[in-house]
Structure 1
Amino acid sequence: MTDFTQRFLFDDTDVRGELVSLEASYQHVLAKHAYPQPVAQLLGELLAAASLLVGTLKFEGLLILQARSEGAVPLLMVECSSEGDVRGIARYHAEQIGADAGLAELMPEGVLAMTIDPTQGQRYQGIVALDGFNLAECFTNYFVTSEQLSTRFWLSADGQRARGLLLQQLPADRLKDPEEREASWQHVATLADTLQTEELLGLDNETLLYRLYHEEPLRLFEPRGLQFRCSCSRERSANALVSLGQADAELLVEENAGSIVIDCQFCNERYAFDAADVAQLFAGGGSQAPSGTRH
């Protein structure tokens, strides 16, 4: 398994952690568009962050991360479901992107929106400025400003593999004294700060954790799989046409030489609807059977 998250828990302190590894799904995302290396790196880090957050937030539904700016990268967007389905996309201006450009150069004065869309219950969105040195620092700042449990992120991607590490302080259980809790938290976070990019990207989880915490008793749990899966479908595209109303849909067919083509920006799948398809939709005939007029 190349794409998975894996939780771990420190036995003697109130801190949990999670690691994520993305290879096949990350490559699938990158294969859909010819991203410059700095953009591919940012997109990989955002995919890793979303995968870590889904497990941390403990909900059923969809997590959507959107980073926006007026710079060379106006949009990064990643989705990860509670079932482990991931997809992502970026918008960029290639002529403005240097070979070694970082977050500040690519997305100046940007904002990061995190949307939780649960299967049941109300949608929630939080927004924070992209004012960190990198995406990991931005996510750490998000948890600071939202006054949730202390949480730290370490994220890396190189166009081939995306990896991430999350540490989170748990409610007081093993350590009741506030000073002891804080000292313990700072200890495990400081050790994680020694982690090099090459180690995060290149080591398996057992080796990585041993290098960081070989003096700390911890438990590593079974991995949970991740995979690229796009939520687009012919039916969803048809529903978008129906929402326009019959007159506008028929006008679109006429204006587009007899066929409306809806492109999925995430996976490049194309869904075509001609006049017979549109008539079938509004007659209640459904969207699954393409008309016999299409070539």
Structure 2
Amino acid sequence: MTDTLQKFMFEHAGVRGEMVELTHAWQQTLAHHELPAPVQTILGELMAASALLSANLKFDGTMVMQIHGDGPVKLLVVECDGELKMRATAKLREHASIADDASLTDLVHVHNQGRFVITLDPNNKVPGQQAYQGIVPLDGDSIATVIENYMQRSEQLDTKLWLAADQHVTRGLLLQKLPKIGGAEAQVEDEAEAWNHAVMLGDTLKKPELLSTGIDILMHRLFWEETLRVFDPLHPQFQCNCTREKVGDMLRMLGQEEVSSAIADLGALDINCDFCGKHYGFDRVDCAQLFVATTLTEGTLTATEIKH
């Protein structure tokens, strides 16, 4: 069995839908994290939502979803590219105390300072091009509601999400109203009625059922009376793109003074990827070479500038 994302459309209504089921990608994510159950739930739901939204993007790049929390959870991050290759991580505050029944607000929005961020980072940026980033306050008491409100506010798209996650699986359903094409008032009313009907069907889905039932069976249960156009399934997968070079770039960004100080205290730097747990070691020589290379490059550029 592989992880699956299934797209579909209502044949006689301006509504598209998707269902996703992540088991392998989710288990690979959890293998590198020890997270309390409530944090597992919100990270898993964010991962399912990321796959659902990424599958609709006509975009060559990576979508990054982040929640910056002001509670015991400092940060949640999920990255998903156009091929549905995904990775995710969570960072807790030191000595964080998390109750088994902690809500989203308890975890990331205790002082109403939580933020939800979506970044679209193109693969092949042209000179001067920046990644698109939308930042909004956390508006909602669940991952689904936060994203629905973001989509309505930032993209003007009516979107409904049903998400659920536990330590074994994360699944989700997305319904989205297609943009209006125009037409008579009666046609607009028909579109609104079709959308409300689709959402009503989705609202019959409860979290226990979503957690315990595969997406093929769920689709049949929910929409057996509807005429759907079903597309070929897609297969999300866990993939981390960390490299030694990227870790070296991160150390350069910290600056030579800070890295040298850390080396003096520790003798060597042991760095583990937050997403996949892969270990990268940098000793004194490795760190010195990072900044020697930078100095040589800067020196060459300066000499060229003087020459011309």
TM bracket, shorter-chain basis: 0.7 to 0.9
Give the distance between the partners of 1:33 and 1:90, measured in 2 at CA.
8
> Which range is displaced more, 228-237 or 260-269?
260-269
- Match for 1:233: what amino acid? T
Give the distance between the partners of 1:103 and 1:247, measured in 2 at CA.
39
Q: Which runs of 5+ in 2 are unaligned?
A: 294-308
> Which range is displaced more, 99-108 or 240-249?
240-249
Give the distance between the partners of 1:282 and 1:147, measured in 2 at CA.
43
Give the distance between the partners of 1:263 and 1:43, measured in 2 at CA.
20
8 Å CA contact 2:6, 2:231 repeated in 1: yes
Post-superposition Cα deviations, 1:103-139, rounded to whole Å, max 9, x if no partner, equal: 1222222221111111235311112222312110111
Give the distance between the partners of 2:269 and 2:106, measured in 1 at CA.
38
> Which of residues 124, 137, 140 in structure 2 aligns to 1:132?
140
Query: What's the offset of the Cα at 1:272?
Result: 1.0
8 Å CA contact 1:117, 1:123 repeated in 2: yes
Query: What's the offset of the Cα at 1:280?
Result: 4.4
Root mean square deviation, CA, Å: 2.3
Give the distance between the partners of 1:95 and 1:262, measured in 2 at CA.
22
TM-score (norm 2): 0.84
8 Å CA contact 1:21, 1:163 repeated in 2: yes
Query: What's the offset of the Cα at 1:249?
Result: 4.8
Aligned residue for 1:159? 167
Give the distance between the partners of 2:103 and 2:119, measured in 1 at CA.
24
- Match for 1:186: what amino acid? N
Aligned residue for 1:289? none
Aligned residue for 1:118? 122
8 Å CA contact 1:175, 1:181 repeated in 2: no
Give the distance between the partners of 1:280 and 1:194, measured in 2 at CA.
60
- Match for 1:236: what amino acid? K
1:253 aligns with 2:263: yes
* Count of aligned residue pairs for this structure pair: 284
Question: What are the equivalent positions in structure 2 for 1:149-188 lying under 5 Å apart?
Answer: 149-172=157-180, 177-188=187-198
Aligned residue for 2:301? none
8 Å CA contact 1:151, 1:167 repeated in 2: yes
Aligned residue for 1:276? 285
Query: What's the offset of the Cα at 1:279?
Result: 4.5
Aligned residue for 1:214? 224
Give the distance between the partners of 1:32 and 1:19, measured in 2 at CA.
26
Aligned residue for 1:204? 214
Aligned residue for 1:107? 108
Query: What's the offset of the Cα at 1:190?
Result: 1.0
Query: What's the offset of the Cα at 1:14?
Result: 0.9
8 Å CA contact 2:54, 2:82 repeated in 1: yes
Percent identity reads 43
> Which range is displaced more, 93-102 or 27-36?
93-102
Q: Which runs of 5+ in 1 are unaligned?
A: 285-295
Secondary structure at the counterpart of residue 147 of structure 2 = helix
Give the distance between the partners of 1:148 and 1:156, measured in 2 at CA.
25
TM-aligned CA distance change 1:280 to 1:132, over 3 Å: closer
TM-score (norm 1): 0.88
8 Å CA contact 1:73, 1:92 repeated in 2: yes
Aligned residue for 1:96? 97
> Which range is displaced more, 108-117 or 233-242?
233-242
Query: What's the offset of the Cα at 1:74?
Result: 2.2
- Match for 1:6: what amino acid? Q
> Which of residues 147, 151, 169 in structure 2 aligns to 1:143?
151
Give the distance between the partners of 2:285 and 2:91, measured in 1 at CA.
34
Post-superposition Cα deviations, 1:75-98, rounded to whole Å, max 9, x if no partner, equal: 211111122221111123565311
